Chains A and B, each alone.
Chain A
């Protein structure tokens, strides 16, 4: 896979594209499977809640107009199941589906809802956060940028994307949008001022290549998937926390109105920036009267979902998405070489970005869309000393970085024909040092493994408690209604 094997000495952009297209297709399938797997415990948590709502509705309806009992046959089926009378594969499958399917269906419905939100991809809110503006007509550099981007679109056979500028001295560029048709290329003024036409063209080539390869569609699906889980937590928290309730009302309002003003764009941006809302801090839980204790299942369910998301994103989904996205970066580099037929220019531009590049203000939520990320360029600190030449060691290509190691990117461009200065001599690795590094790696991974195992055990526990609690509370409510009906 792209992560582990060595950079070839010599290749061409077609072979390079094929390689990364294959790798990213495999990773996309793996990531989809991982998300589906993550959906199972989440569905397990929310299924009793959904059944509970149905049950309560039926109970209320029963008070007004007596209905035939639903719980009787259900209880009989459950009893038969637990006695092992229904142990055929068919019955097992049906039981599994009954437990998982409602939650899965609810998640899919939420996902469709998120997809339908105006600016669901967050393009407009990102642009507002970055204070991006239209190019000035009389400005030579900005006119040149437009030409350069148009040239690359001609080379790719695409309609030219929209262009916006950020007045930031940190040299960088990004592409936003949910599809190729609505793509917007954003370039910082620092890049225009500090880079030659040829270098700007190579970077524009990378961005246009990214559009033509369909990266925006991929990013949009990934983003809405993560937001779906964020929205689910917001929903579960809404009855018990004012902040979540407010956020939920705002999302509903935006969805109903379909317009988008600045405040709403900010709200969507918040939802995007918080992503899984794990960094949101716990909502203050208020349990004032005994009726409010009925909220307890929701609180536990929300914790169970959060825990599940934490375990899966840290150990499985997050690293896979990062790996997938890094593979798409290499692919865009190789496609940019196809468009410009000038691997040297992209090599030079990326090498320059190590020194002059930076992350513009308020770009943290969208950093994965930039040509180089915060791992490469001085961590948003103007005037900081240039980072040392990085190479593909652990850390620069760590689990969750969304940009490939820049040294590796440069070497791949050299393999595609970029003339580069001879490589700097590497530090001598003594056997002792190798041993220490190896031991350190084993220790780090061991600790990580133990931590994740503990987190997974906690997740199973919380999910179990949540389901148990739901069943208990629902049983109580149902018993109460039955008494009342009798």
Chain B
């Protein structure tokens, strides 16, 4: 009698644990998917903004044609990328090209004082940051999801239920780790 009750208790405890772990994994997987959609939204926003910026500065910096073309090419490539890894690489290149454009634009006083261009630069640095923060949110979600799958004993349940690790959105090229300076913020604060 007592033995059967304790066996029953163990079975119930294991079942509860399995249900809890499974639900936790599902929640984390959904969070990863949500994080990926957020990145997508921000990337789309950036792709839409870039032609505006290029058009706004084109008149004043016509002889910097190479820089402008590089931005548009990088944008086209980034738009056609698929999957976190490739997307991350292409977007990194696009960030770099935009950063170069903004740096070059600094040399043109007419552009620097143009309200329209300033607003566009703010929009662009805002979008750059949003891409970065969306990536951070996504990568945190992926890390939590992958950790939850890999720790014992949940790993047994995860592999049995067919959960697979999600892919991080990371920059692989060493040269792309340099964050381009995109903000034209007011004078830097005193150290």
Binding site for B on A (CB under 8 A): 140, 143-144, 147-148, 150-152, 154-157, 196-199, 201, 339, 341, 348
Contact = CB atoms under 8 A, between A and B. Distances in A.
B51 interface: no
B133 A339 contact: yes
Interface residues of B, number: 23
Interface of B: 31, 34-35, 38, 42, 115, 118-119, 122-123, 125-126, 129-130, 133-134, 136-137, 183, 185-186, 188-189
B189 A348 contact: yes
Main secondary structure of the interface of B (DSSP, over half): helix
A201 B137 CA distance: 16
A339 B31 CA distance: 16
B189 A151 contact: no
A144 B122 contact: yes
A154 B115 CA distance: 27
A147 B130 CA distance: 8
A196 B34 CA distance: 31
A103 B185 CA distance: 60
A143 B136 contact: no
A196 B185 contact: yes
Contacts of B129: 147, 151, 201
Nearest to B41: A154
The 8 closest A-B CB pairs, nearest first, are A147-B126, A155-B133, A154-B133, A151-B129, A197-B185, A154-B130, A154-B134, A151-B130
Contacts of B123: 143, 147
Nearest to B38: A154
Given A144-B122, A144-B126, A152 B133 contact: yes
Contacts of B130: 147, 150-151, 154
B189 A196 contact: yes
Contact of A143 (B35, B122, B137, B183): B122
Given A157-B35, A196-B189, A197-B185, A151 B115 contact: no
Contacts of B118: 140
Contacts of A341: 136
B185 to A, nearest CB: 5
B126 A150 contact: yes
Nearest to B141: A157
A155 B185 contact: no
